[in-house]
A = this chain, B = another copy of it.
């Protein structure tokens, strides 16, 4: 059953032995992480209510066992030995990136003590409960004490992990390797400089978009068939995956042969389910396309949370919200939803792309989305710097919404209580913006590399696009760093220009801004 470790040719038995032992250890760790993933998927899809506390124990124990193995001194010694061996190897020796990725996984585990890992799990469970209660009452104050604990644990984690300048650096680097508060601020500032004025112009444009065709009654079964058809056409492989219904859509992988996605269904508004499914299929195709050879090792994993997000946004936005896609997809949507009978592809393209400042991040359009991230980033940074008190979060949040989007949430449910992330940790939101930006780079590169891309999309021929991502992103896995991979595919490390060019071209056209 067990896959044999790939042979490292031309080296002595003793040398190959270190790598193959390490691969075995990481295979086991990966198996346990996947097992935890199955338990988590089950909890969110089919687990009966009564299973909650038992499931908490099972996941906590698996977490301890995984941490124990990842942080084990034996693993550290094996890595030291590999480092010695690799020091004399040629630059393209695969053991180099293996060592880099494996070392990071081990080092981060060593820094986080078992008691801190357990504490975070405990605090997170309590915070989730309080968050739910606070949402019910639409009152952030109910969540504030629990959020203070989350913040305390985050500070402890930052101290344990270490950082160059400020504690937030550690959390950002944990979520997206190499990111610091300063580099994140710069990224967001670049985006804001273009997007904030663009939004103002869009809002004032006389050429507003009619979104009414998106609303009506869209029966669940018809939606289900249409969503399945869309992502199957993209290339999501149902023989190695499945689609289930959950309140919040997500993707989870138990290895390249079993990558599942979930979606929500809103019968009065079809884009929620359709674009949710496209989004998760992008995550799913990334996981289905990872290298089989390096499966179950750190080299065969997605390179970063931001690049993972770039894949979901690629299919949801760059493809799914394109004019060409709706030329292909409209007849299919009309077959499912009779109320679209009189709509043109152009109508649907504009409606699903419409820009409208709104309160909820996950429902935000392509232009306003990153400003939601800016709000969270600045609030988190101020909290960690001690410049903002927990009880003042809603006011700070609302002021920033007003400043960037011109609207302020009427209650905390539409404001600082909307995301589940703060029941667990801080720093994760930035990956969404990295995903948008990297997605723009990849989209531009794909258009350069694939002849007649938009005609192909217009015919429903997505194979060259998936193949492009397979070869340049998926199969690479973690063999290259995020920026090396981006450099190889697009010629540049992470950079905002292509994304902003895409946004400006698309929305100047739709809103007829001169």
Asked whether B237 lies within 8 Å of A50 as measured between CB atoms, the reply is yes
Alpha-carbon distance between A242 and B237 when the two chains are bound, in angstroms: 28
* Interface hits, A11-65 → B, CB 8 Å: 27-28, 31-32, 34-36, 38-39, 42, 46-58, 60-62, 64-65
Cβ–Cβ < 8 Å partners of A239 in chain B: 48-50
CB distance from A128 to the nearest CB of B (A): 12
A255 within 8 A of B: yes
A122 touches B1 (CB 8 A): yes
CB-based contact B241/A50 at 8 Å: yes
Q: Once the chains bind, are A61 and B48 in contact (CB under 8 Å)? A: no
Instruction: Note all chain B residues with C-beta closer than 8 A to A360.
Output: none
Q: Is the CB of B55 within 8 A of A125?
A: no
The distance from the CB of A321 to the nearest CB of chain B, in whole angstroms, is 28
Give bound CA distance, A39 to B122, whole Å. 24
Interface contact A238-B2, CB-CB below 8 Å: no
- The answer to whether A409 has its CB under 8 Å from any CB of chain B is no
Contacts of A254 in B (CB 8 A): 51, 54-55, 58
Residue numbers in B under 8 Å from A220 (CB-CB):
none
Say whether A42 contacts B31, CB under 8 Å.
no
* Complex CA distance for A148 and B87, rounded to whole angstroms: 50
Count of chain A residues with a beta carbon within 8 Å of a chain B beta carbon: 48
A135 within 8 A of partner (CB): no
In the complex the two chains form, what is the Cα distance from A258 to B59 in whole Å?
14
Most B CB within 10 A of own CB, among A32, A121, A241: A32
Question: Which residues from chain B contact A125 at a C-beta distance below 8 Å?
Answer: 1
| A240 part of interface (Cβ distance < 8 Å) | yes
A257: Cβ under 8 A from any B Cβ: yes
Alpha-carbon separation in the docked complex, A64 to B60 (Å): 19
Give me the 4 closest cross-chain CB pairs, A-B, nearest first: A51-B258, A50-B240, A54-B255, A50-B257
Binding site for B on A (CB under 8 A): 1-3, 27-28, 31-32, 34-36, 38-39, 42, 46-58, 60-62, 64-65, 121-122, 125, 237-242, 244, 254-258, 260, 296
- Give 7 new A-B contacts, CB below 8 A, not counting A35-B35, A51-B258, A55-B254: A28-B61, A34-B58, A38-B38, A50-B256, A50-B257, A57-B296, A65-B65
A-B contact pairs, 17 of them (CB 8 A): A1-B57, A1-B60, A2-B57, A28-B65, A32-B61, A35-B58, A38-B42, A46-B242, A48-B241, A48-B258, A50-B239, A50-B241, A50-B256, A51-B240, A52-B257, A53-B257, A65-B65
